[in-house]
Structure 1
Amino acid sequence: MYFTDKGIEELVERRGEEEVGIGWLAERLREFVDLNPEFEVPVERLATWLARLDDDED
């Protein structure tokens, strides 16, 4: 188990019944980076990975 699993599990427990839009998620990521600029690169990588999930893996 990775350390991040604890945070992911908490997210599911607290908000697992909610549905959110991509716009809402993007704003929360921007807010997080504004408050924690040292995480800019990991957040950028996560956002890019999420954006490309459906791309063909040629």
Structure 2
Amino acid sequence: MKAMGMRIAVVTFAAMLLWACDQDGPAEQAGEKIDNAVENAGEAIENAGDKIESSTNN
């Protein structure tokens, strides 16, 4: 009987840990925003370079 209760407790605890890992905290959300901003800036710079290159080739 005690073993069954212990197994249920362990499984419940493991499920709670897995659920908590799925939730993004404020630092994770901020990091994702920074990653997106850097990626967008890189794409904008690349597009600007492409425009300059195409205008000098004409």
Q: What is the TM-score of this pair, normalised by structure 2?
A: 0.32
Point out the structure with max Rg over C-alpha.
2
Give the number of the structure whose residues are more often helix, by fraction: 2
